[in-house]
């Protein structure tokens, strides 16, 4: 195990099974519809890449980048678009793909922005959910794992841009993040 990690939360096999479970449900729910999957950079990139390959319907993908936390582990509530979608989503079925929903501020903001662009539908799919941290009510339609309030990294999730490449999801050791800004 990586020396900065406290413990493993989800193994490669557990993640793979969950991604395929979600992929099957999504393929069934969106059959016959043109689906645009919108990954929120950067955390969701790994999940999105696996999720689309676990689906057996035609999908399109796009990405949007927002800033919420910066390099701090605390939410500031400040969210702004750093990179917008490439194309219009008007009359399209949109699925927002997130790695984790924490306070919900990021999604709450994005949902309002995307709904205002008049899509046919907008739903949310997240791999991880920390329900105990929720500050605003966001409707999560597809959820992989509910997790406790611990600092998790790996499989796209970072701390100071590190650990995104790890194929498993871990709880980060407290001493790695508690004394740094
Ligand atoms: C993380 C995560 C979500 C957001 C969730 O992104 O990917 O987008 O925080 O937190 P919230 O529910 O409290 O808003 P982050 O800003 O760390 O960027 P990253 O995806 O580039 O790591």
pLDDT tens-digit profile of 69-124?
555 545 555 678 999 999 999 999 999 999 999 999 889 989 999 999 999 999 99
Q: 60, 36 in Cβ contact below 8 A?
A: yes
Measured from the CB, is residue 69 less than 6 Å from ligand 1? yes
Q: Is it the case that residue 21 has pLDDT exceeding 80?
A: yes
Three-state SS at 112: helix
Q: Is residue 22 part of a domain?
A: yes
Q: Is residue 26 part of a domain?
A: yes
What percent of the chain clears pLDDT 90, i.e. is strictly above it? 86
Measured from the CB, is residue 168 less than 6 Å from ligand 1? no
Q: Is it the case that residue 60 has pLDDT exceeding 50?
A: yes
Which run of H or E residues covers position 53? helix 45-53
What region does 176 belong to: left with phi over 0, alpha with psi -120 to 50, or beta?
A: alpha
Q: Is residue 39 part of a domain?
A: yes
Q: Is residue 180 part of a domain?
A: no
CA distance 62 to 69: 22
pLDDT in tens, 137-169: 999 999 999 999 999 999 999 999 999 999 999
Q: Is it the case that residue 10 has pLDDT exceeding 50?
A: yes
CATH no. for residue 40?
3.40.50.2020
Tell which atom from ligand 1 comes closest to the C-alpha of 161: 22
Give this prediction's pTM. Answer: 0.93
Instruction: Please give the tally of structural domains in the chain.
Output: 1
Q: 171, 162 in Cβ contact below 8 A?
A: no
Q: 134, 106 in Cβ contact below 8 A?
A: no
Q: 135, 114 in Cβ contact below 8 A?
A: no
Rounded to the nearest whole angstrom, what is the distance from the C-alpha of residue 57 to the centroid of ligand 1? 28
Which run of H or E residues covers position 80? strand 80-83
Neighbours of 72 (CB within 10 A): 12
Domain of 61 in residue numbering reads as: 11-150
**What integer pLDDT is reported at residue 79 of this predicted model?**
77
Q: Return the C-alpha torsion angle 75, 22, 60, 124, nearest 10.
A: -40
Rounded to the nearest whole angstrom, what is the distance from the C-alpha of residue 25 to the centroid of ligand 1? 24
**What integer pLDDT is reported at residue 75 of this predicted model?**
55
Measured from the CB, is residue 126 less than 6 Å from ligand 1? no
Tell which atom from ligand 1 comes closest to the C-alpha of 104: 12
Rounded to the nearest whole angstrom, what is the distance from the C-alpha of residue 68 to the centroid of ligand 1? 6
């Amino acid at each position: 195990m990586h020396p900065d990690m406290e413990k493993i939360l989800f193994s490669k096999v557990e993640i793979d099974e969950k991604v395929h479970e979600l992929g099957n449900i999504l393929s069934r729910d969106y059959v016959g519809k043109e689906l645009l999957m919108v990954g929120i950079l950067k955390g969701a990139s790994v999940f999105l890449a696996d999720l689309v390959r676990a689906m057996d319907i035609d999908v399109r993908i796009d990405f949007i980048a927002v800033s919420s936390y910066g390099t701090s582990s605390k939410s500031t509530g400040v969210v702004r678009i750093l990179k917008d979608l490439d194309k219009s989503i008007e009359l399209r079925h949109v699925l927002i793909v997130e790695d984790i929903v924490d306070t919900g501020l990021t999604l709450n903001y994005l949902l309002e922005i995307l709904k205002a662009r008049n899509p046919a539908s907008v739903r949310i799919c997240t791999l991880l959910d920390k329900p105990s941290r929720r500050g605003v009510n966001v409707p999560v339609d597809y959820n992989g794992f509910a997790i406790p309030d611990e600092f998790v990294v790996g499989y796209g999730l970072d701390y100071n841009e590190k650990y995104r490449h790890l194929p498993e999801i871990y709880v980060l050791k407290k001493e790695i993040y508690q004394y740094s800004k």
